[in-house]
Amino acid sequence: MKRIVCFLLFGFFVSFGIAGNEDVRLRIVTQPDEVHIYHTKRLPAGYGFNVYRQDSPGGEFRLLTGEPVRRVRSSGELQSRLGESFREVMDFFEAESAGELWLFLQSRFLETMLAVSLFPELAEAMGMLYVDDTAPVGNEATYRVGFVDMPGNPVDEPVSRHLHLQPGIPDPPGELRAENDGVSVTLHWNYEGVGREDDDKVIRFFIYRVNPDTGRPEQVSDRIIVRNNAYDEHALHFRSPRVNVTEQYFVTAADITGQQSEPSEILSYEIIDTEIPAVVEDVRVSETSDNHSEITWTKPAEQDIVGYHVYRTDDLSASFRQITREPLAADQLSYVDREARGGRSYFYHVTAVNRLGYESDKGALVMVTLRDVTPPPPPENLTAEFDIESETVNLDWDISEITPDLRSFIILRRIETSRGTGGFNRINFTDLRETSFIDAGEGGEGFQEGARYRYVIYSSDYAENYSDTITTVMEVPLFTPPDPPGGLIAVNDRGIRINLNWNASPSLTAEEYVIHRAVSGGSGLEELKRVPSSAMFYRDEDVETGQEYIYALTAVDRAGNESERSNYDTLFFSSVTPPGSVRNIQAVERDGGIYMRWERVPDNDLAGYKVYRSDIPTGIYEPVHEGL
């Protein structure tokens, strides 16, 4: 990362409200035409927030954000949102690509929070800044920020802040003074630190030198100079382009929106050459592939440098300790600190030693946070029990040790029914360190009777390491009978059989259908057949022509609960082929009429006979009676 001077991080992060487990805070900066609202909550990708404003006490909070201000969800979206600031943010994190920058923003929380304060464009892209250009500047107002997940559902409690929207710029620094060792200049200035509740939003300083040739100010260093809110005195080490001359310097303070103060008073300082080596420049620190710190630097211009010392601390409130017993060789421009351990932050200085034994001042302070690659202990002995009275699931588990870096247990749940298996969804949306959890079901609406629910739990730490998983399955008891199937229809299939068709039961708990049948003149509906719930068709082969059949269905779950009956359907089963021809017809005259008889036609669904007559065998035959 770029060398950051005045980088006493503890004071900075206390002022920003993120040291330890602080609550979410709002930092609000009023400018003449707009108000910048920052929050300190670390949002997952895609999450966002809404901003509301109350312009008078007791008045209605008005939504300012038409859509939630959301954190970007990909490296491509991040690059697009940063625009012209993209390269500067890349340089800040020393990232080689947009993908690497995206990874750093997910894993380097402290540097990310600092960068958010330095680059407003990054704050907007990370879902931490909203600019209110309709603010009633000059009046009092109350802002409220509510956080939402990707679907737009509220998460956590909203935060509010009431204040008088009075615009202003930062106060200028004061009491400039300087000292030098050769071309290495140390410029000091005062800027009074303030408590957390008196946050003045000042985040950095700019140091200017008056060019003696043009009379115009120019920055003496492109390093980012972060204001340490815990101290009144600040300093910057830099190299002067010349010695034995009088230079003019001034300092400005800038807030988190980029507004600079008026210049401080100009300091005129005569730079006199000395024997002390110049401060080592371009000090950098990075993490090696085997999880150690590697410090690198640029060789000073002096020809009499004979070696270097490296200093380290992991606590800025303590002193730095020299970790090189003897000066490193003059041509050795890197050092690997193999005593550094993963999961901690370290701060380093490098000094140069000349042939006379003089040691340079400690130059730029650099910091590295080594990856914690050790996952937390996994949960054990997971149980899930369904509470009939509350209709919730009680989850309990054990863990061998609650480690200091344990951030949360993560609980996943999915439903498994006879009709398919759903996907896993996380059910605890806030950090959880207790070893129990009460699940009220999807959206707090309870659970589906008869369904199996699979739970998976694992633990995560602040470095986003994850333990092995543990799983268990819980089945919800069945109490309510399923709904019956519908749309039952009985169809005569060519006089061979009766085909039954129906619609599935809307209840997912139905395991099978029971087909009931009654025969006209019988004793009522009786169970005919049981078929699985996947079936919606049945062929009744055991039928006789000339009979009337009545059908109905019920659905049964695996607990034996049976539904009410479906709709009834009645069918008279008849043959679809004509009866056989009448044979052996006999006709005799009797009592003034014609008496006829014939051989009975064998057919179960025979309804009767019709008699036709004609005066001649080849004539037209007409019926001689009505009906059959």
Nearest in space to 238 (alpha carbons), one of 174, 173, 179, 320 = 179
Between residues 508 and 382, the one the model is more confident about:
382
pLDDT of residue 273: 63
Nearest in space to 42 (alpha carbons), one of 431, 412, 346, 402 = 431
Q: Which whole number is the average pLDDT over 424-442?
A: 94
Does residue 18 register a pLDDT over 70? no
CB 518 within 8 A of CB 524: yes
pLDDT of residue 22: 52
H-helix or E-strand spanning residue 107: helix 98-107
Residue with tokens 């991080």: 9
Q: Which whole number is the average pLDDT over 557-578?
A: 89
H-helix or E-strand spanning residue 121: helix 120-125
Between residues 276 and 270, the one the model is more confident about:
270
If you ran DSSP here, which 8-state letter would residue 195 be given? -
Does residue 15 register a pLDDT over 60? no
Strand segments, DSSP code E, in 60-127 are 62-63, 69-70
Structure-token pair, residue 51: 């901003």
pLDDT digits (tens, 9 = 90+) for 203-224: 899 999 999 889 999 999 888 8
pLDDT of residue 5: 37
For the beta sheet containing 537-540, the strands, ordered from the edge strand earlier in sequence to the opposite edge, are 486-493, 497-503, 537-540
* Average pLDDT of the residues of the chain: 88
Residue 19 — pLDDT band, cuts 50, 70, 90? very low
pLDDT of residue 317: 85
User: Quick check: helix, strand or coil at residue 224?
Assistant: strand
pLDDT digits (tens, 9 = 90+) for 221-231: 888 888 888 88
pLDDT of residue 2: 44
pLDDT of residue 260: 92
The residue count of the chain comes to 628
- Distance of alpha carbon 47 from alpha carbon 147, whole angstroms: 8
Q: Which whole number is the average pLDDT over 515-523?
A: 89
Over the range 405-424, which residues count as b (16 or more CB within 10 Å of their CB) and which as e? Answer: ebbbbbbbbebeebeeeeee
Contacts of 165 (CB under 8 A, 6+ apart): 30, 35, 135, 136, 137, 138, 139, 140, 141
Does residue 9 register a pLDDT over 60? no
Residue with tokens 């920052």: 38
Q: Which whole number is the average pLDDT over 305-313?
A: 94
CA distances from 34 to 52, 64, 130, 576 (A): 15, 13, 10, 87
CB 503 within 8 A of CB 536: yes
pLDDT digits (tens, 9 = 90+) for 40-84: 888 888 899 999 999 988 889 999 998 999 999 998 998 998 988
Distance of CA 345 to the CA centre of its chain: 27
- Distance of alpha carbon 426 from alpha carbon 437, whole angstroms: 13
CB 283 within 8 A of CB 330: no
- Distance of alpha carbon 133 from alpha carbon 482, whole angstroms: 58
Does residue 1 register a pLDDT over 60? no
pLDDT of residue 455: 97
- Kindly report the CA angle at 574 between 569 and 580, in degrees rounded to 5? 175
CB 525 within 8 A of CB 552: yes
pLDDT digits (tens, 9 = 90+) for 447-470: 988 889 999 999 998 888 999 999
Exposed (0-12), middle (13-18) or buried (19+): which is 349, by Cβ within 10 Å? buried
pTM of the full structure: 0.44
pLDDT of residue 442: 86
User: Quick check: helix, strand or coil at residue 91?
Assistant: helix
CB 1 within 8 A of CB 221: no
pLDDT of residue 10: 38
- Distance of alpha carbon 607 from alpha carbon 597, whole angstroms: 17
Distance of CA 239 to the CA centre of its chain: 46
Nearest in space to 94 (alpha carbons), one of 276, 285, 254 = 285
Between residues 263 and 230, the one the model is more confident about:
263
- Distance of alpha carbon 394 from alpha carbon 346, whole angstroms: 43
Taking the C-alpha atoms of 189, 193, 199 and 204 in order, what is their torsion angle to the nearest 10 degrees?
Answer: 30
Nearest in space to 176 (alpha carbons), one of 236, 265, 260 = 265
Number of Cβ within a 10 Å radius of residue 57: 8
Residue 173 — pLDDT band, cuts 50, 70, 90? very high
Residue 274 — pLDDT band, cuts 50, 70, 90? low
- Distance of alpha carbon 171 from alpha carbon 205, whole angstroms: 11
pLDDT of residue 303: 73
Helix axes 98-107, 75-82, angle to 10 degrees: 100
Structure-token pair, residue 469: 């998983």
